[in-house]
């Protein structure tokens, strides 16, 4: 069977670290050399100390599938860098962070190599991806009312399902974001990290009753057929979010984005540009409203 898959171009590609990246057919179907990043400007761009966004990345790059094969993963470059481009254009400073400060992992096989803006953004932040902040240290230092972070951004990529959904520090951070009425931005598989906000007691899940756009479990169940994944998924984050009372509004990955209160989500790389615009504009609008309220008081 393996030689036939290789002949058809649907056999996942072996990497030097023993993991498998998507097959040639899968790459043609699911990746692009250039994104739809629209280079828009934000005339009312943010300025000041309260214009910071924490970009919460995974530091893990190998997902063990049900059949024991390892998928080469991390954060998807389009879902990471296109929203970052919009947030930076809107005046926000971006702090890269991982659970323990180990390097952020990027799915380089999905890098849109002919997209100058995206590649330049990666090069600009490459050092930060290699030496990110440690979430454990950020949380240990204390999350207070005067924290500069107006939002936490969780990029997609299957790597978002590794080490984030059960990370207690991330749970503390997300509950703080919710209590402080700050923004949470998550795209594609990024919403898997919402699961970290669950508690061991009977407290209701903070995102119960929320609607989100996310990568559908149904697609993750079929992508092994053409070699995007080297085997069946070990678990499905959509199923777990639904048991927590979260409503996933999309059944396809068609670039859907959605805002429910201070939670902004998108479903796939095709949503990255729209998601970035939605996030940047929502953050800028919230800061404008805050300034107006401060002037009135």
Residue 13 lies in a domain: no
Residue 47 lies in a domain: no
pTM: 0.96
Question: Residue 236 belongs to a domain with what CATH number?
Answer: 3.40.50.880
Give me the number of domains the chain comprises: 1
Residue 227 lies in a domain: yes
Residue 151 lies in a domain: yes
Residue 25 lies in a domain: no
Q: What is the pLDDT of residue 297?
A: 64
Tokens 């389009």 identify what position? 78
Catalytic entry in 51, 57, 97, 188 = 188
Strand 247-248 with 211-212, pairing: parallel
Q: What is the mean pLDDT of each run of 10 residues along the chain (297 residues)?
A: 61 95 95 97 87 97 98 98 98 98 98 98 98 97 91 98 98 97 98 96 92 98 96 98 98 96 98 98 92 71
Contact indicator for 205, 212 with CB cutoff of 8 Å: no
**Domain limits for position 114:** 53-91+107-296
Furthest CA-CA distance within the chain: 71
Cα–Cα nearest to 186, from 214, 207, 165 = 214
Q: What is the pLDDT of residue 4?
A: 56
C-alpha to C-alpha distance for 256 and 188, rounded to whole angstroms = 10
Cα–Cα nearest to 272, from 194, 178, 181, 157 = 157
Cα–Cα nearest to 5, from 234, 232, 230, 233 = 230
Residue 262 lies in a domain: yes
DSSP conformation class of 48: S
Residue 154 lies in a domain: yes
Q: What is the DSSP string of 72-99?
A: E-SB-HHHHHHHHHHHHHTT-EEEEEES
Q: What is the pLDDT of residue 195?
A: 98
Residue 21 lies in a domain: no
Task: Decide if 188 is catalytic.
Answer: yes
């Amino acid at each position: 069977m393996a030689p036939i898959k290789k002949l058809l171009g649907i056999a996942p590609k072996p990497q030097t670290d023993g993991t498998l990246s998507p097959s040639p057919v899968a790459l043609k179907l699911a990746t692009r050399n250039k994104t739809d990043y629209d280079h828009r400007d934000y005339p009312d761009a943010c300025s000041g100390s309260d214009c910071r966004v924490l970009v919460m990345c995974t530091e893990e790059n190998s997902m063990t599938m049900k059949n024991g094969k390892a998928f080469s993963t991390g954060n998807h470059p389009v879902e990471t860098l296109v929203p970052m481009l919009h947030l930076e254009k809107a005046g926000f400073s971006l702090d890269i962070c991982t659970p323990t400060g180990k390097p952020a992992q990027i799915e380089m096989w999905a890098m849109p190599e002919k997209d100058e803006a995206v590649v330049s953004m990666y090069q600009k932040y490459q050092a930060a991806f290699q030496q990110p902040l440690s979430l454990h240290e950020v949380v240990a230092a204390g999350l207070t009312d005067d924290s500069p972070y107006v939002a936490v951004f969780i990029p997609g990529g299957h790597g978002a399902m590794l080490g984030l959904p059960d990370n207690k520090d991330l749970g503390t951070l997300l509950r703080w974001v919710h209590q402080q009425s700050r923004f949470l931005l998550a795209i594609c598989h990024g919403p898997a990290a919402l699961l970290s906000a669950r508690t061991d007691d009977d407290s209701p899940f903070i995102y119960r009753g929320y609607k989100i756009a996310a990568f559908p479990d149904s697609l993750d169940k079929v992508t092994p057929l053409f070699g995007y994944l080297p085997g069946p998924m070990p678990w499905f984050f959509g199923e777990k979010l639904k048991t927590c009372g979260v409503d996933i509004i999309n059944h396809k990955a068609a670039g859907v984005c959605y805002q429910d209160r201070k939670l902004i989500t998108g479903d796939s790389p095709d949503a990255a540009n729209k998601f970035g615009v939605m996030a940047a504009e929502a953050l800028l609008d919230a800061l404008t409203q805050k300034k107006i309220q401060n002037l009135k008081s």
